């Protein structure tokens, strides 16, 4: 089940192939509707207007819009797990999946803690077993 990805197109309520005039029209319509002066006392109006302005800023610039489209394509092509991270297939699970320092860091932390503890215990036993000079 794919989680819908909120994009700036969703904020402005336009299609992904909308023209610059269509984007400007949607921005003006939503700005008129959600402007804080039109909705006094509504704290969400400021946040809505900020989101609308941010979306218009990105979608009105052709270069930034292209970057946003690439981001959408990459996010949609990558399957996501419940925790929001990429899903690993059964073939990818193996020794490297556990020993990989980027994904298996808890194991390294556990082994480092155990090595330090063992070293401390061995040192303490050695110091108690050796006679004082």
What six digits make up the tokens of 107?
Answer: 């194991």
Residue 82 and residue 22 in one domain = yes
pTM score over 0.95: no
- CATH number assigned to the domain comprising residue 26: 1.10.287.110
Residue 37 and residue 69 in one domain = yes
Question: For the chain, what percentages of helix, strand and coil (3-state, to nearest 5) are there?
Answer: 65, 0, 35
Residue 67 and residue 29 in one domain = yes
Residue 1 and residue 65 in one domain = yes
Task: Provide the pLDDT confidence category of residue 14 given band limits of 50, 70 and 90.
Answer: very high
Tens digits of per-residue pLDDT, 34-70? 898 888 888 888 889 999 999 999 999 999 999 999 9
Domain that holds residue 63: 1-87
Count of structural domains, the chain: 2
Residue 55 and residue 120 in one domain = no
């Amino acid at each position: 089940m794919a989680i819908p990805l909120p994009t700036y197109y969703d904020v402005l309520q336009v299609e992904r192939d909308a023209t610059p005039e269509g984007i400007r029209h949607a921005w003006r319509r939503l700005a008129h509707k959600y402007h804080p002066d039109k909705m006094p006392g509504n704290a969400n109006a400021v946040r809505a207007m900020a989101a609308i302005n941010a979306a218009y800023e990105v979608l009105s610039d052709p270069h930034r819009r292209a970057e946003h489209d690439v981001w959408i394509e990459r996010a949609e092509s990558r399957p996501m797990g419940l925790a929001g991270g990429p899903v690993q297939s059964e073939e990818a699970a193996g020794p490297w999946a556990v020993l990989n320092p980027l994904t298996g860091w808890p194991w390294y932390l556990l082994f480092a803690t155990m090595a330090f503890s063992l070293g401390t215990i061995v040192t303490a036993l050695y110091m108690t077993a050796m006679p004082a000079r």
